[in-house]
């Protein structure tokens, strides 16, 4: 149910721009200057809303040799479209330079690239290492929060633990994202779009967690927020919104959500059309629940 390259580009938007603003992922900025590891920390006034960690400056980390700079530049410059090459270079870099100051951007990219291959365990492994190193990486938090519940099939024995982690990651992303300061080189529109894309993933992930727990009334507002603020709404979240409304006996709202999903070209269309038809039949034979 995960969209491929388009999904990745949306997920990485705000993280990439904020890390670039800190001089971490820009190739020309390697080896010098100040900057925080990963995301820019929130302003002091919002400190209570973020994890209690001190920002780590690049100068506080291990020095960088010319060889390490070249290895990171090769990783950085490899096209995102070449997933296998990006992973190969990233894995080799971390094996050779395990204490590198560039661990955070490498972890972040590997998280997204393993998602493209559908290797959720590897995605989660690098995502959790990235969050441990950079707790304010809202894109990675939101990505894990959305992907982990989508990866559950059937009723695995660890489902409750997976859902608990997904809930935690989504809520952290929702809490931290509004506190992030805007990098000076970004326009207000670019920054708001990036934040909204991240928040849309986090709210969508939290909505699915509630659905899988049978808490449909709690899922509905999360999924409504997700599709409302997402500049290019995910059809999966429209489908989930329809599913939550149908199970909450809000049949008309379910039909509306399923139809919006069915209007988006892609593999979700047949399922969403069927969902709309089912909701219409239920509406004709059962009473809708009050909102």
- pLDDT of 153: 87
- Helix, strand, coil percent values for the chain (each to nearest 5): 70, 0, 30
What percent of the chain clears pLDDT 70, i.e. is strictly above it?
A: 78
Interval 2-61: pLDDT, tens: 333 343 334 344 444 443 333 333 222 333 322 323 332 222 223 233 332 233 344 445
- pLDDT of 62: 56
Taking residues 265-272, what's their average pLDDT? 95
123: left (phi over 0), alpha (psi -120 to 50) or beta: alpha
Q: In 3D, which of 211, 201, 165 has the Cα closest to residue 2? A: 201
- pLDDT exceeds cutoff 70 at 116: yes
If pLDDT is split at 50, 70 and 90, which confidence band does 63 have?
low
- pLDDT of 50: 30
Q: What is the pTM of this model?
A: 0.79
What is the distance between the alpha carbons of residues 83 and 108, in angstroms, rounded to a whole number?
13
What is the distance between the alpha carbons of residues 145 and 96, in angstroms, rounded to a whole number?
30
């Amino acid at each position: 149910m995960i969209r491929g390259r388009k999904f990745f580009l949306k997920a990485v938007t705000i993280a990439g721009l904020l890390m670039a603003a800190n001089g971490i992922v820009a190739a020309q900025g390697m080896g010098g200057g100040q900057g925080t590891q990963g995301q820019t920390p929130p302003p002091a006034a919002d400190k209570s809303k973020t994890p209690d960690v001190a920002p780590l400056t690049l100068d506080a980390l291990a020095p960088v040799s010319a060889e390490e700079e070249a290895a990171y530049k090769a990783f950085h410059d490899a096209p995102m479209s070449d997933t296998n090459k990006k992973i190969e270079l990233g894995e080799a870099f971390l094996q050779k330079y395990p204490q590198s100051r560039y661990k955070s951007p490498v972890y972040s990219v590997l998280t997204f690239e393993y998602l493209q291959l559908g290797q959720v365990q590897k995605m989660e492994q690098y995502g959790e290492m990235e969050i441990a190193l950079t707790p304010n990486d809202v894109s990675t938090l939101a990505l894990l929060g959305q992907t982990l519940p989508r990866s559950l099939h059937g009723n695995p024995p660890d489902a409750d633990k997976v859902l608990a982690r997904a809930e935690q990651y989504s809520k952290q992303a929702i809490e931290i994202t509004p506190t992030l300061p805007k990098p000076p080189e970004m326009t207000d529109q670019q920054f708001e779009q990036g934040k909204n894309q991240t928040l849309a993933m986090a709210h969508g992930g939290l909505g699915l967690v509630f659905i899988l727990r049978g808490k449909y009334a709690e899922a509905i507002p999360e999924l409504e927020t997700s599709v409302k603020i997402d500049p290019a709404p995910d059809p999966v979240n429209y489908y989930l919104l329809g599913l939550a409304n149908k199970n909450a006996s809000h049949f008309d709202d379910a039909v509306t959500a399923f139809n919006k999903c069915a209007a988006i070209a892609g593999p979700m269309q047949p399922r969403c059309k069927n969902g709309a038809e089912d909701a219409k039949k239920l509406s004709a034979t059962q009473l809708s629940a009050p909102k």
